[in-house]
Structure 1
Amino acid sequence: MSEQNEARKPRASLGSSEGEDIFGTFDTGVAKRFLGMMGPHKRSFMFAVIAVLASAASVVAIPALIGRAVDAAVARDGGLLDRTLIAFAALVVVYSAAFFLEQWLSARLAQRVIFDIRRKMFDHFQDVSLSFMDKTHVGRIMSRLQGDVNALQEFLESSTGAVGDLAMLVGITAVLISMDWRLGLLTLTVLPLLILVRAIWLPFSKKSFRDARDASSTANSALAENINGVRTVQETRREAMNYELYQEKAHENFKAQAGAAWMTQIMVPTVDILTGFAMAIVVVVGGNAVLGGRLEVGVMVAFIFYVQRFFDPVRMLSMQYTIMQRAMAAGHRIFEVLDVKVTIQDKAGALPLQDAPATVEFKDVTFGYDPARPVLHDINLKVNPREVVALVGPTGSGKTSIIALTHRFYEVDKGQVLVGGHDVRDLTLDSLGKTIGMVLQEPFLFTGTIEENIRYNTEGASFEDIVEAAKAVSAHDFIMRLPDGYQTRLGQRGRNISMGQRQLLSFARALVADPQILILDEATANIDSFTEQAIQKALKVLFAGRTCIVIAHRLATIRDADRIIVLQQGRILEQGSHDELMQTGGLYSHLYTSAHASFDDQVVASTGDAEFATRT
Structure 2
Amino acid sequence: MATKATANEAVKRDRFVYTDDDVIEKSFNWQQMRRLYTYMKPHNRELIPVLIMMMIGTLTRLGVPLLIYYAIDNVINQKTGTGDTSTLWLLGAIMLGMYIIQLLATQYRIKHTNIIGQKVLLSIRSHIFTHIQKLSFRFFDKRPAGSVLVRVTNDVNALQDLFTNGVVNLLMDIIQLAGIIVILLVINFKLGLAVMITVPLMFIISTSLRKKIRFAWQEVRMKNSRINSHLNESIQGMKVTQAFVQEKNNIAFFEQMNASNLKSWNRASAMNQSFGPIIEVTAALGTCILYWYGSHLISIGAFTIGLLVAYSTYMAHFWEPINRLGQLYSQLLIAMASSERIFEFIDEQPTVEEKKDAKPLPQIRGDVSFDNIVFEYEPDRPALKNISINVKAGQSIALVGHTGSGKSTIINLLCRFYDPVQGSVLIDGIDIRDVTLDSLRKQVGLVMQDTFIFSGTIRDNIRYGKLDATHDEIVQVAKAVNAHDFIMSLPDGYDTQVEERGNMLSMGQRQLLSFARALLSNPKILILDEATASIDTDTELKIQEALKVLLKGRTSFMIAHRLSTIRHADDIIVLDHGQIVEQGNHEQLMEKQGVYHGLIKAQYRFL
What TM-score, normalized by structure 1, do the two folds share? 0.91
Aligned AA (2:140): M
Aligned AA (1:35): Y
Task: Kindly indicate whether the alpha-carbon contact (under 8 Å) linking 2:56 and 2:102 is maintained by their aligned counterparts in 1.
Answer: yes
**Pairing 1:294–2:294 present:** no
**Pairing 1:153–2:160 present:** yes
**Pairing 1:425–2:433 present:** yes
**Secondary structure at 2:604's aligned position in 1?**
coil
**Pairing 1:271–2:273 present:** no
Partner residue in 2 for 1:247: 255
Offset of residue 84 of structure 1: 2.3
Task: Kindly indicate whether the alpha-carbon contact (under 8 Å) linking 1:554 and 1:597 is maintained by their aligned counterparts in 2.
Answer: no
Q: Counterparts of 1:328-339 in structure 2 under 5 Å? A: 328-339=336-347
Task: Kindly indicate whether the alpha-carbon contact (under 8 Å) linking 1:356 and 1:421 is maintained by their aligned counterparts in 2.
Answer: no
Task: Kindly indicate whether the alpha-carbon contact (under 8 Å) linking 2:138 and 2:351 is maintained by their aligned counterparts in 1.
Answer: no
Q: Counterparts of 1:356-505 in structure 2 under 5 Å? A: 356-505=364-513
In structure 1, what is the Cα distance between the partners aligned to 2:546 and 2:449? Answer: 15
In structure 1, what is the Cα distance between the partners aligned to 2:55 and 2:605? Answer: 78
Partner residue in 2 for 1:40: 42
In structure 2, what is the Cα distance between the partners aligned to 1:430 and 1:351? Answer: 10
Offset of residue 73 of structure 1: 4.3
In structure 1, what is the Cα distance between the partners aligned to 2:131 and 2:207? Answer: 40
**Secondary structure at 1:97's aligned position in 2?**
helix
Task: Kindly indicate whether the alpha-carbon contact (under 8 Å) linking 1:344 and 1:408 is maintained by their aligned counterparts in 2.
Answer: yes
Task: Kindly indicate whether the alpha-carbon contact (under 8 Å) linking 2:25 and 2:215 is maintained by their aligned counterparts in 1.
Answer: no
Partner residue in 1 for 2:8: none
Q: 2:266 aligns with which of 248, 258, 269?
A: 258
**Secondary structure at 1:374's aligned position in 2?**
strand
Task: Kindly indicate whether the alpha-carbon contact (under 8 Å) linking 1:20 and 1:210 is maintained by their aligned counterparts in 2.
Answer: no
Partner residue in 2 for 1:69: 71
**Secondary structure at 1:596's aligned position in 2?**
helix
Partner residue in 1 for 2:57: 55
Partner residue in 2 for 1:589: 597
Partner residue in 1 for 2:115: 108
Task: Kindly indicate whether the alpha-carbon contact (under 8 Å) linking 2:217 and 2:337 is maintained by their aligned counterparts in 1.
Answer: no
Offset of residue 79 of structure 1: 4.7
Could you give the per-residue CA deviations for residues 226-254 of structure 1, whole angstroms, max 9, x where no partner exists?
A: 22322322222222111101110110100
Partner residue in 1 for 2:7: none
Could you give the per-residue CA deviations for residues 354-397 of structure 1, whole angstroms, max 9, x where no partner exists?
A: 24321211011111112421111111101211111110000111
In structure 1, what is the Cα distance between the partners aligned to 2:602 and 2:318? Answer: 88
Q: Counterparts of 1:8-23 in structure 2 under 5 Å? A: 13-17=19-23, 19-22=24-27
In structure 1, what is the Cα distance between the partners aligned to 2:236 and 2:274? Answer: 39
**Secondary structure at 2:260's aligned position in 1?**
helix
Task: Kindly indicate whether the alpha-carbon contact (under 8 Å) linking 1:555 and 1:597 is maintained by their aligned counterparts in 2.
Answer: no
Aligned AA (1:16): D
Offset of residue 170 of structure 1: 1.2
Offset of residue 402 of structure 1: 0.4
Aligned AA (1:125): I
In structure 2, what is the Cα distance between the partners aligned to 1:28 and 1:586? Answer: 66
Offset of residue 400 of structure 1: 0.3
Partner residue in 2 for 1:185: 193
In structure 1, what is the Cα distance between the partners aligned to 2:153 and 2:487? Answer: 36
**Pairing 1:531–2:539 present:** yes
- Greater displacement, 272-281 / 472-481: 272-281
In structure 2, what is the Cα distance between the partners aligned to 1:276 and 1:260? Answer: 26
Offset of residue 409 of structure 1: 0.8
User: Where does structure 2 lack aligned partners over 5 or more consecutive residues?
Assistant: 1-16, 78-82
In structure 2, what is the Cα distance between the partners aligned to 1:130 and 1:564? Answer: 27
Offset of residue 150 of structure 1: 1.1
Could you give the per-residue CA deviations for residues 303-340 of structure 1, whole angstroms, max 9, x where no partner exists?
A: 12112111111111111111101112212221111111
Task: Kindly indicate whether the alpha-carbon contact (under 8 Å) linking 1:286 and 1:300 is maintained by their aligned counterparts in 2.
Answer: yes
**Pairing 1:516–2:552 present:** no
Q: Counterparts of 1:96-135 in structure 2 under 5 Å? A: 96-135=103-142
Could you give the per-residue CA deviations for residues 454-494 of structure 1, whole angstroms, max 9, x where no partner exists?
A: 00131121011101111111111111111111111111111
In structure 2, what is the Cα distance between the partners aligned to 1:571 and 1:544? Answer: 29
User: Where does structure 1 lack aligned partners over 5 or more consecutive residues?
Assistant: 1-10, 602-616
Identity percentage over the alignment?
37
Could you give the per-residue CA deviations for residues 541-575 of structure 1, whole angstroms, max 9, x where no partner exists?
A: 43233111000022332112121111111111111
**Secondary structure at 1:21's aligned position in 2?**
coil
Task: Kindly indicate whether the alpha-carbon contact (under 8 Å) linking 2:18 and 2:143 is maintained by their aligned counterparts in 1.
Answer: no
Partner residue in 2 for 1:547: 555
- Greater displacement, 530-539 / 123-132: 530-539
**Pairing 1:141–2:157 present:** no
Offset of residue 539 of structure 1: 3.0
In structure 2, what is the Cα distance between the partners aligned to 1:209 and 1:337? Answer: 18
| RMSD of equivalent CA atoms | 2.1
Aligned AA (2:381): R
Offset of residue 131 of structure 1: 1.3
What TM-score, normalized by structure 2, do the two folds share? 0.92
Aligned AA (1:215): K
**Pairing 1:285–2:293 present:** yes
Task: Kindly indicate whether the alpha-carbon contact (under 8 Å) linking 2:445 and 2:521 is maintained by their aligned counterparts in 1.
Answer: yes
Offset of residue 128 of structure 1: 0.5
